[in-house]
Structure 1
Amino acid sequence: MSPSTDTVIAEPYQFISGTAPLLISIPHAGTHLTPEVASGLSDAAPPLSDTDWHIPQLYDFARALGASILVGQYSRFVIDLNRPSDDKPLYTTATTGLYPDTLFDGRDTFKPGMTPTDAQRQLYLDQIWQPYHQKIQAELARMKQEFGYALLFDAHSIASVIPRLFDGQLPDLNLGTNSGASCSPALSEILERTCNQQTRFSHVLNGRFKGGYITRAYGQPDRDIHAVQLELAQVNYMEELEPFAFAPDKAAQLQELLKRLLEGMVRWGEDRYKQGAV
């Protein structure tokens, strides 16, 4: 996979509008780099190994479910769309920030003295981070206006073994609901039940990954906005070594479960709000 290099663009995301009250956010699949980031990367960084590879392709089936899909275009090495704009840490354990200076394995992202300037990073915040979040807000508001509620599914993936971040091998599916604060408990139960109805893939709810900034900021069940994050172990749909190739046969099996999860979310929303539940 070769990263692309460009200047900051007016719309730093791709968006597909859907017909259902479901928004799939994919903040970490981007590989675009600004010139200053590209020239400053350390020898370890150019493979962009911390990218959520192939997630738009993996979730392409969701278009047939009526989902809206929002995909960030810039690498998290430029700015991380799933971190708060004030860069406050989301986890007490090892993590990376709004402007990642280390890779997931702990090596430096940039050569010494080659990190972008404060002014450049402010530009990334204004022209990359802000538009992405403004689009989330606008789409959730549109869904609430049309349907009375909105469902947000924040889609991620990560290498299955990263000793700096977690012990051993990560479960295959890592659901996060900000420890139950970002969605209705009934929705969490639906998702867990769906995972329990199969045996191929392991899963956990609110384990190492409880949900990043997007889940925590926008999941407001008391306002009828329900957010869930799913962190997938990449071993189940791709090769985890460079060039990080997509594995169609493995992916197809995972997609069957992902489809059931999203269908369960949509059905739950329809049933709950059709009945006028609160």
Structure 2
Amino acid sequence: MTLAEDFPHGVFSVRLPAEQLAPFVFNSPHSGRVYPARFLQMSRLDRVTIRRSEDSFVEELFGAAPSLGAPLLFAHFPRAFLDVNREPFELDPKMFRETLPPQANVRSARVAGGLGTVPKVVGEGQEIYAGRISLAEAVGRIDNIYRPYHQELDRLLAETKSLFGSAVLVDCHSMPASIRVGDHGMRPDFIVGDRFGASAKRPLSEAALGLLAGMGYTVAHNRPYAGGFITEHYGRPAEGIQAIQIEINRGLYLNERTLQKTAGFEPLFQDLTRFCANLIALWEEWNWTPLAAE
């Protein structure tokens, strides 16, 4: 099988606004739902279980971004197949028949948890593969999907910064409804991550937190999700690029057993459209430049 046969509509899509009106780029790297037959044959999991790490329909929840004047990039490949929210060679040596190249990061906490660039597990530790796979399989995914995806994201941010003098990346994700935070086990509807202030300036994070809370949602900040590789890698406030990660509780819009949308999907879509519009409007008011006040 070739990449074109695995992903007949491409490995990702970019929806561009008719005219970009603000320095925002929205990204949904984990919402891909195209599972190649070849990959399913390699897996020991059934077709529902293998989707447990998928950010189902998140690109649809943020689908109004282009109509608001901001590009939206989203994956077609599933997270279980390849995770672009990792370093390019964040790999578990126990997964492969061959020795990993020297540039591989084999000691990260994400690799230890089975969630490297080529994941070992989905959901609550369910192993994807029955045995070891070839290193060539991983390298092919990295060269043909990971690198083009990041090249496109980098291009969108560079063009946005060139147009506006700064850029804001909103990295869009979902989380299991079982997530609890704090001493009292509060269930957050959203978690906003900014790498504890390293990837975004305070006005941006506070605006995102405040807008969501103002709509009646329970919102947490950085715990337990402060942002992954994408937020960390692209969020460089001193250089004029800020990045925040938005995690949405799947219980708001999804039946996690069947992976079908619930009646909550449409109200949440409307709220997130309003959230995006208001966040963009606040940028216009505050003009978050690289030198904006902390």
* Pairwise TM-score range, normalised by the shorter structure: 0.7 to 0.9
Q: d(CA) in 2 for partners of 1:16 and 1:42?
A: 34
Per-residue deviation at 1:69? Answer: 0.7
Given the alignment of the two structures, is residue 85 of structure 1 paired with residue 62 of structure 2, yes or no?
no
Whether contact under 8 Å (2:33, 2:56) holds in the other structure is no
> 1:120-139 counterparts in 2 under 5 A?
120-139=137-156
Partner amino acid for 1:264?
A: N
Q: d(CA) in 1 for partners of 2:275 and 2:199?
A: 17
Equivalent of residue 228 in structure 2, options 201, 206, 212: 212
- 1:30 maps to 32
Per-residue deviation at 1:262? Answer: 1.9
- 1:39 maps to 41
> 1:123-202 counterparts in 2 under 5 A?
123-161=140-178, 170-199=187-216, 201-202=217-218
Q: d(CA) in 1 for partners of 2:67 and 2:60?
A: 13
Given the alignment of the two structures, is residue 66 of structure 1 paired with residue 69 of structure 2, yes or no?
yes
Structure 2: give runs of 5+ residues left out of the alignment: 91-104
User: Structure 1 residues 25 and 275 mapped into 2: Cα distance closer, same or farther (>3 Å)?
Assistant: closer
Partner amino acid for 1:100?
A: P
Per-residue deviation at 1:268? Answer: 3.2
Q: d(CA) in 2 for partners of 1:116 and 1:34?
A: 16
- RMSD, matched Cα: 2.7
CA shift digits 1:105-149 (9 cap, x unpaired): 1121111x2x43101110100011111100010010101111111
Q: TM-score, normalised by structure 2?
A: 0.81
Q: TM-score, normalised by structure 1?
A: 0.86
Whether contact under 8 Å (1:155, 1:231) holds in the other structure is yes
Q: d(CA) in 2 for partners of 1:252 and 1:238?
A: 11
CA shift digits 1:197-221 (9 cap, x unpaired): 233x211010111011111100111
- 2:52 maps to 49
Whether contact under 8 Å (2:26, 2:169) holds in the other structure is yes
- 2:279 maps to 265
- 2:268 maps to 254
Per-residue deviation at 1:275? Answer: 8.4
Q: d(CA) in 1 for partners of 2:112 and 2:37?
A: 31
Q: d(CA) in 2 for partners of 1:174 and 1:61?
A: 20
Q: d(CA) in 2 for partners of 1:176 and 1:276?
A: 19
Per-residue deviation at 1:86? Answer: 2.7
- 1:103 maps to 122
Structure 1: give runs of 5+ residues left out of the alignment: none
Per-residue deviation at 1:16? Answer: 0.9
Aligned-pair identity (%): 24
Whether contact under 8 Å (1:177, 1:206) holds in the other structure is yes
User: Structure 1 residues 28 and 223 mapped into 2: Cα distance closer, same or farther (>3 Å)?
Assistant: same
Q: d(CA) in 2 for partners of 1:275 and 1:75?
A: 34
Per-residue deviation at 1:191? Answer: 1.5
Q: d(CA) in 1 for partners of 2:290 and 2:83?
A: 37
Whether contact under 8 Å (1:158, 1:232) holds in the other structure is yes
Q: d(CA) in 2 for partners of 1:7 and 1:73?
A: 10
User: Structure 1 residues 209 and 118 mapped into 2: Cα distance closer, same or farther (>3 Å)?
Assistant: same
CA shift digits 1:164-191 (9 cap, x unpaired): xxx9674110111111111111111111
